[in-house]
A and B are shown apart, each in its own frame.
Chain A
Amino acid sequence: MKWFVVKRLLISLVLVWVVATLVFFSLHMLPGDPALIALGGSEANPDPEALAAMQKKLGLDRPILKQYTDWMGNAIRGDLGRSLLNDRPVGPDLRLRLGRTLQLIIPATILAIIVGIPMGVLAATHRNSFWDPLLSSTALLGFSVPVFVLGLLFVWLFGLRLQILPASGYVAFSDDPIGFIKYLTLPAITLSFGMLATVMRMTRSCVLEQLGADYVRTARSKGLAYKIVLYKHALRNALLPISTVVALQIGLMFGGSVLVESVYNWPGINSFLITSINLRDYPVVQGVLLLISILFIGINLIADVTYGLLDPKVRLD
């Protein structure tokens, strides 16, 4: 297990480096010159000397490879540079924005797990009652409705018609805890829907499969109550594939959060990224993408390790 973790960790580091490099070069291949944009764009038609001076000031006159090694060197030391736009250091802003996005993703994930798994178990154990078709068709709905449709529906229904929750916006938890939760509720539920549906369906099918396994029959032949057999034996084994799905879904949630942040005006990392791309603010975009890829790869690492901890065959290897 130790070697398993070390190996995965090394692979993850290499992956992060590859992604960061790809991001750097593909970004610089995008048309659009940040110096030009800073001077008001091509319509403003700034004179070539001012443009050259701006490029020099922003460090864009260096050869691209030099820019790459400088950036990489600083990034390794934890310095992501300064915004081309307002000269603010990228690091603190990134931390702030990421924090807000995580405030959305973490509750959504927890919601999806603590609701999705029991619903899946219920559907699996009530295959012959109305529960299973009811839950399964709800899940199908969760799959097929796009996040922004669901978001707009929620905004209209709860925010505008019923007016029980704010339609959009954000307050920091430290400023107003109750307000924070009010603002969080709709976006978190919206974001959790897809994952909840997936976790539910996965739990249902995995638990059903495990309930037919030979070891379940053995457990019952020992005289264990059905509930214990269900949770301690069948669900425990089903958690292995479920944990993999959860990890994949957290990755997808970052994608979903782009839409959710924009529907609910949530000032997270995605809105930060989109503004910066439009302004060709290279250091910010690079910083955001580097961070997201580290998160992504980190989540997969955690998922692998969790799987290993759950499965004795891997754990004891």
Chain B
Amino acid sequence: MTDTLLAVEDLQVEFKTSEGTATVVDGVSFSVNKGETLGIVGESGCGKSVTSLSIMRLLPTPPGNIAGGRIVFQGQNLLDLSEHEMCGIRGHDISMIFQEPMTSLNPVYTIGQQISEAIRAHKKISAREARSQTVKMLEMVGIPEPAQRVSNYPHQLSGGMRQRAMIAMALSLTPKLLIADEPTTALDVTIQAQILELMRRIKEEMDMAIILITHDLGVIAEVTKRVMVMYAGTVVEEALVDDLFLKPYHPYTEGLLASIPQLNSTQERLHVIEGMVPHALQRPRGCRFAPRCPYAEEICQRTEPALLAMGGGRSVRCWKYKNSPQGGE
């Protein structure tokens, strides 16, 4: 267990709203080893961003609140740290890139100023030195003419370039863990592919653990080895990507896979999972996916299943597997 970098244990996150307290992340556990990549997928609103912001301790509090669990990073529970100690970890040991490259950079400072600022927050070096490191970072993430681009403002860059600048900023102190929250969702397809290619290169060149969050299983397949599927605030399945694509266990995963467009298939319509994610305040009593599940049985409506270890690093939260703990039907 010595190479576990991050272990999230039974994380509970609540949001206070005018209609009541919603538990939007409910008992999520997972771990990431040093240098490993983990994908997290799930529909919009299932709690992916809330989970990652909790790791950074950047939830908007209030209304958000971490109600329980532990987030152990390098043997230390981040939830016990002071805000000051957290500042030493953010950007230095754990970095994050966000979905919106348009708004995630400060419009009144150049990208160079913003990246240098990150470096100088953690390293006692001169402004000039920070600038030359910034240029190197920009070059590494594939921004052409980095020496000129360093003094550009965000509005002078395209969306793809901005996201590269964000990545350069996140990597500038070679963190041990990079959390990428839908880094390609807001970009068009060709740029998306370039950014994913960049992420893959980073993974290889810098020995860094990555958590890649997306609602697109196709993106996961490109970059990560292991994947965790979330539904309505809980983990419903965890597996190696190859195994998952070969044979999804959870009916929800099955639906997600069926809804990836296949270029070589003759299928005319894309599969869609019927229905909507239940609202955090009106969750069904039994399995959260039961109302939308084609296999739902009587027990599914009554009691929520536990996450069941299936061997080979796989686990699934579904009543189908109650009597076959070794996997398969």
Question: Could you tell me which A residues sit within 8 Å of B by CB distance?
Answer: 128, 212-215, 217-226, 233, 236-237, 310-313, 316
Contacts and interface: CB of A to CB of B under 8 A. Distances in A.
Nearest to A310: B108
Given A215-B103, A311-B108, A221 B153 contact: no
B100 A221 contact: no
Interface string B86-117: 01111110011010100111111000000001
B108 A236 contact: yes
Contacts of B170: 221
Nearest to A217: B58
Given A221-B91, A312-B108, 9 more contacts: A212-B60, A218-B105, A222-B95, A223-B87, A223-B92, A226-B83, A233-B106, A236-B108, A237-B107
Contacts of B153: 312-313, 316
A247 to B, nearest CB: 19
Given A222-B169, A223-B88, A316 B106 contact: no
B118 interface: yes
Contacts of A217: 58, 98, 104
B155 A313 contact: yes
B122 interface: yes
Given A313-B153, A313-B155, A213 B91 contact: no
B81 to A, nearest CB: 12
13 contacts: A128-B62, A214-B98, A214-B100, A214-B104, A218-B166, A219-B117, A220-B90, A221-B170, A222-B117, A223-B88, A223-B90, A236-B106, A237-B106
Contacts of B96: 221
A39 B234 CA distance: 94
Cβ-closest 9 pairs across A and B: A223-B91, A223-B90, A222-B118, A222-B91, A214-B103, A215-B106, A312-B153, A221-B96, A214-B104
A215 to B, nearest CB: 4
Contact of A221 (B90, B103, B122, B155): B90
B156 interface: yes
Given A223-B88, A316-B153, A215 B107 contact: yes
Nearest to B60: A212
B121 interface: yes
Contact of B121 (A222, A233, A236, A311): A222
Given A221-B95, A313-B153, A215 B118 contact: no
Given A215-B103, A218-B98, A223 B108 contact: no
A274 to B, nearest CB: 44
